[in-house]
Structure 1
Amino acid sequence: MNASDTDPTDTPALTIRSRDDPTTQVRLSDRYFPDEYGTGFAMDLRAEGLQARLGSVVTWLWDDEYLADFLDALAADFRGWEGERTWSTHHLALRAVFRPGGHVGLTWTLRPRSTREDSWAASVTTWLEGGEQLTALAADVRRFLDRGDPAGTR
């Protein structure tokens, strides 16, 4: 994971690389705030033979669960869980599985038109350690999505 916001004129960006294959990555960038309830961003998926970009993914305060909260809950269960856990918003779905040895697979799926059957979808899976790496990812995602609201809206 790499949060890069060294140049104050740049918007924050976050790159999530797979532990086993650093060429497999997810990048969140171009953050914006459509209103006081949402955080939008562009998302890029990359893996061998795959490059996909969706210019507008929006998470909302009224989503069933906030993305950073979902990742925090996964990190809290660093000893593992059975089956899969999922989180989604309109154009993004995230599926988490736990494997022996403390590794967590996060499958990120982009779909520009979730209501149409003829729409494309692209997925990559990033593998992280279930403890410190997942905890750091949750913190990085929370910082990326942060509205900078002193009232602490999210």
Structure 2
Amino acid sequence: MISVAKKKKPATNVLARNKKARHDYTILETYEAGIVLTGTEIKSVRAGRMNLKDGFARVRNGEVWLENVHISPYEQGNQFNVDPLRNRKLLLKKREIKKLIGTTQNAGITLVPLRVYLKHGVAKLLLGVARGKHSYDKRETIKRRDQDRELRRVMKNRW
């Protein structure tokens, strides 16, 4: 019998997640963006010392900027550490930026960081184009999730 080798998926290592994003927003579209970081910041990110909870992105002067994301100072970085809450530039293609400019002009649309991960040794950010949920939408999502969980539990016990 001949065995066929499976293709390996590219190595992605999730370093930080924004767990509240999918609860508070309806994600319409996602983009993968690079992040411009300093040397001590990337070391801190690789250690998983990053918080995306209150972060958002904004398009200014044809560039996309990540704001209000906290990257803890690197312990061995001393004088090379920078402000933990500084704005960081996101690297996207020009046509993606133009598309984001058009979509963010609509009322209620925002750019939310979903997760940060390593891809081939480079830090990437998954950026979501999102619309805020109302409280009744959040309750509906929780209700649907509980129903799915109950259905899976019942089906598991049937077999």
Normalised to the residue count of structure 2, the TM-score between the two structures is 0.27
Going by fraction, where is helix more abundant, 1 or 2? 2
Larger RCO: Structure 1 or Structure 2 (Cα < 8 Å, ≥ 6 residues apart)? 2
Going by fraction, where is strand more abundant, 1 or 2? 1
Greater Cα radius of gyration, structure 1 or 2: 2
Normalised to the residue count of structure 1, the TM-score between the two structures is 0.27
